[in-house]
Chain A
Amino acid sequence: GAVVSQHPSRVICKSGTSVKIECRSLDFQATTMFWYRQFPKQSLMLMATSNEGSKATYEQGVEKDKFLINHASLTLSTLTVTSAHPEDSSFYICSARPATSPIGGYTFGSGTRLTVV
């Protein structure tokens, strides 16, 4: 089945530094990937839609200059949290859907827990 690999699974960084999270579709091409953020014991909030070869589409209230998304190939999207602060600490999850899957057949990565100290 379709597999999405997300890396790293955990990262701790100092306040003010930047962190890059990778999301790869291992056995399919994904023209569109999605980035979510999840706070403890809460639901997933869609941050942005990553489009291969073009700019990402950000949800209302998400700072595009802080959360940089690059989708340079059909199998890789990256989310960079720039100048991270403690309030950016969260669980970030990506997802993608193979073009051949029926509507809604999303596959999720295993998530990245970011802790900013």
Chain B
Amino acid sequence: GNSVTQMEGPVTLSEEAFLTINCTYTATGYPSLFWYVQYPGEGLQLLLKATKADDKGSNKGFEATYRKETTSFHLEKGSVQVSDSAVYFCALSDRQGVSGGYNKLIFGAGTRLAVHP
């Protein structure tokens, strides 16, 4: 079945350091890929997404490229801030065919990021 694998955390960085959080997936069909962020005690917020191979999603300095050949969607940021401290979830939406109906989101285990001043 479809699945998402993320690197284990926690990831601890100093402010302005470069961030990479690895994410790989297994899926059939035409999945869309997402990164969600969860701040303490809150729900999830969509950070970025990519719907087809070679698409690059970007938002708030974060980027991720949909790599079909390596089945990856690694999250990167060139210079992290303390306010980026949160849990990051990689997810895929298993679309049923090209124009399928609603889709389930399948989440990775989440990676906790802690950024220190």
Q: Do A and B come from one complex?
A: yes
A positions within 8 Å CB-CB of B = 6, 31-32, 34, 41-44, 46, 49, 93, 95, 97, 102-111, 113
Q: Are B105 and A106 in contact (CB under 8 A)?
A: yes
Closest to B34 in A: A104
Task: Point out the residues of chain B lying under 8 angstroms from A105, CB to CB.
Answer: 46, 49
- B74 proximal to A (CB < 8 A): no
Cβ of A103: which chain B residues have Cβ within 8 Å of it?
A: 32, 51, 93, 95, 100, 103
What B residues does A108 contact at CB under 8 A?
36, 43-45
How far, in Å, is B39 (CB) from chain A's closest CB? 10
B interface size (C-beta, 8 A): 25
Answer whether A93 and B32 are a contact pair too, CB < 8 Å, given A103-B95, A106-B105. Answer: no
A-B contact count (CB 8 A): 59
Asked whether any CB of chain A lies closer than 8 Å to the CB of B73, the reply is no
- Check B25 for interface membership: any CB of A closer than 8 A: no
Interface centre among A31, A46, A104 (most CB of B within 10 A): A104
B51 contacts A43, CB within 8 Å? no
Q: Give Cα A104–Cα B29 distance, bound, in whole angstroms.
A: 14
**Contact string against A for B residues 46-59, beta-carbon threshold 8 Å, 1 for contact and 0 otherwise:** 10010100000000
Which of A41, A43, A93, A105 has the most CB atoms of chain B within a 10 A radius of its CB?
A: A43
- Tell me which residues across on chain B come within 8 A of A104, comparing CB atoms: 32, 34, 49, 51, 93, 95, 103, 105
Determine if B103 and A93 form an interchain contact, defined as CB atoms under 8 angstroms apart.
no
